[in-house]
Amino acid sequence: MSLLVVGSVAFDAVETPFGKRERMLGGSATHFSLSASFFTDVRVVGVVGGDFGDEEMAVFRERGINTDDIERVEAGKTFFWSGRYEFDLNTAHTLDTQLNVFADFRPKLSDESKRARMVFLGNIQPDLQSEVREHLRGAELVALDTMNYWITSVPEQVEAAIRRVDVVIINDAEARMLSKEPNLIKAARKILSWGPRALVVKRGEYGAAMFTQDSYFAIPAYPLESVFDPTGAGDTFAGGFMGYLASRASVDDEALRRAIIFGSVMASFNVEEFGTDRVRRLTHEEINRRFSDFKRMTHFEEIPFERAVRAAE
Ligand code: AMP
């Protein structure tokens, strides 16, 4: 077993300036696992209600994702989230959150799950993230996501969870809020001082940045003319990032950099259509083509500035 994700499996209702969906498959673990499944074997730990049908389960199966650890509470309803995006699509306004079976979610890890080599702790209660981490003593690399709700309500629990992981993947506003630092570089330094090896900061349409103790790496977002629905972009990014890392024998700085590109590639596809629609029918060829585009977009040759050289002669 190479990659495990713990997080929400949901029904989402989403409204963007370009359209509306009343009920579609969503959730952090869903977006993450679909994305990661293009790179490695993935297993999901989550919970759904009796209203979660075969059609939804088939979406995971079609991508070869292991769903044995998705608990089904027949008498309950699946987590439901409803959101609306403004014209610029940058901020999601949450209209409704119905936790339903997710309210009492206690992740149950099978022996197989406990043997995972890499783990993504999706956005759930931070003490639960810490608890799950304790069961995964053999994991080589554990990453975590969180959200403003937990940072505001239980910041000390979020910090404690971060102290137990190797990689933190959050957005820029969350990094500032968490560190109480308006400057992103100082914010990163503070979060890294709690112990993680890398901090990955998602910056929406402006791309992503990665901070480690001694390096900084940043890339733009893929230039898209048609962004349709940003829901799940963050988790899809994390899925590409972790999926790629799990496909490698070891994780060095070069692999981390390529993982940032694969995360950005996957997120760029996710936002082109509603929910999981685009990622579900992606091909490896499309992924590789966009990976090459990123190389071309960001590559430049280092050539000494001639006038300066001549002047020095
Ligand atoms: P993102 O990648 O940040 O856009 O995450 C979007 C997904 O997060 C949606 O599909 C929602 O179902 C899910 N979500 C929204 N609010 C929560 C929450 N409080 N806890 C867990 N998952 C959530």
DSSP assignment, residue 92? E
What does the pLDDT read at residue 91? 80
Place of tokens 């570089």: 185
Q: Helix axis angle, 155-162 relative to 126-134, nearest 10°?
A: 30
pTM of the full predicted structure?
A: 0.95
Could you tell me the distance, in angstroms and rounded to a whole number, from the CA of residue 27 to the centre of ligand 1?
5
For ligand 1, pick from 28, 95, 96, 146 the residue to mutate: most ligand atoms within 8 Å of CB: 28
Q: What is the pLDDT of residues 46-100, one digit of tens each?
A: 999 999 999 999 999 999 999 999 999 999 999 999 999 998 888 889 999 999 9
What does the pLDDT read at residue 123? 92
Whether the CB of 123 sits within 6 Å of ligand 1: yes
What does the pLDDT read at residue 89? 86
Helix segments in the chain, DSSP class H = 28-36, 54-62, 111-114, 126-134, 148-153, 155-162, 172-179, 184-192, 233-246, 253-270, 277-280, 284-298, 306-312
Query: Is the model's pLDDT at 309 over the cut of 70?
Result: no
Using CA positions, which residue lies closest to atom 17 of ligand 1?
81
Query: What's the N-to-C CA distance of the chain in angstroms?
Result: 61
Q: Helix axis angle, 28-36 relative to 54-62, nearest 10°?
A: 30
Using CA positions, which residue lies closest to atom 22 of ligand 1?
8
What does the pLDDT read at residue 303? 87
Band of the pLDDT at 312, cuts 50, 70, 90? low
DSSP assignment, residue 117? S
What does the pLDDT read at residue 129? 97
Could you tell me the distance, in angstroms and rounded to a whole number, from the CA of residue 310 to the centre of ligand 1?
57
Q: Which residues pair with 118 in a beta bridge?
A: 3, 141
Report which of 64, 100, 40 is spatially closest to residue 239, judged by C-alpha positions: 40
Using CA positions, which residue lies closest to atom 5 of ligand 1?
232
Q: How much is the average pLDDT of 105-121?
A: 95
Could you tell me the distance, in angstroms and rounded to a whole number, from the CA of residue 52 to the centre of ligand 1?
17
Band of the pLDDT at 310, cuts 50, 70, 90? low
Whether the CB of 81 sits within 6 Å of ligand 1: yes
What does the pLDDT read at residue 304? 85
CA distance 231 to 112: 30
State which ligand 1 atom lies nearest to the alpha carbon of 81.
Answer: 12
Task: Collect all residues with Cβ–Cβ distance below 8 Å to 105 and sequence separation of at least 6.
Answer: 46, 47, 124, 128
